[in-house]
Amino acid sequence: MTLEGLEHIGIAVSDLEEALAFYEEAFGLKAESIVALEERNVRVAFLPLGNTKIELLEPIGEGALSRFLERRGEGLHHIALGVSDIHGSLERMKEMGIRLVDEVPRPGAEGGLVAFLHPQSTRSVLVELCEETSL
Ligand code: CO
């Protein structure tokens, strides 16, 4: 498994527009895309930052993210690591006994494939693996 870099850092927010206004005003960062993931009940915005990005995630209904916000409030939600071979990486994680949230990669908000590792196995940090796939 080869890590290609820190793909993005995910931050849970309760109001995406307010958060976007803050990031623009405070840091001059602007969203390159805003996507609604209906099946996960989240809306996400990606803000490019150097060779990585900040992903702001807002719940648009009941789900894992709304529960996270109820329990812990706004804040750091996950880190996303870029990998070259997500299927091989997941196999390796499984062999190591790492608990997976996604046994099978799923389409990511920006295209490509993503899979989450369970924080129980990763020192309490939700880790997303991302593979950019060319169409
Ligand atoms: Co993410």
Instruction: Give 54-91 pLDDT, tens digit per residue.
Output: 999 999 999 999 999 999 999 999 999 999 999 999 99
Q: The pTM is what?
A: 0.93
**pLDDT tier, 109 (very low <50, low <70, confident <90, very high otherwise):** confident
CA of 89 to the centre of ligand 1 (A): 17
Q: What is the pLDDT of residue 134?
A: 60
Residue 112 has pLDDT above 80, yes or no: yes
CA of 26 to the centre of ligand 1 (A): 22
Its sign, for the CA torsion 96, 98, 104, 108, is: negative
- 117 closest CA partner among 83, 93, 87: 93
Q: How would you list the strands of the sheet with 106-107, edge to edge?
A: 33-37, 42-49, 52-59, 3-12, 75-83, 127-131, 113-117, 106-107
CA of 45 to the centre of ligand 1 (A): 10
Average of pLDDT values for 16-27? Answer: 98
**pLDDT tier, 2 (very low <50, low <70, confident <90, very high otherwise):** confident
CA of 109 to the centre of ligand 1 (A): 8
Which residue in this structure is represented by tokens 């648009």? 60
CA of 117 to the centre of ligand 1 (A): 12
Q: DSSP state, 118?
A: P
How far apart are alpha carbons 42 and 88 in whole angstroms?
A: 28
Residues around ion ligand 1, judged by CB within 5 A, are 10, 55, 80, 128
Residue 121 has pLDDT above 70, yes or no: yes
Q: What is the pLDDT of residue 12?
A: 98
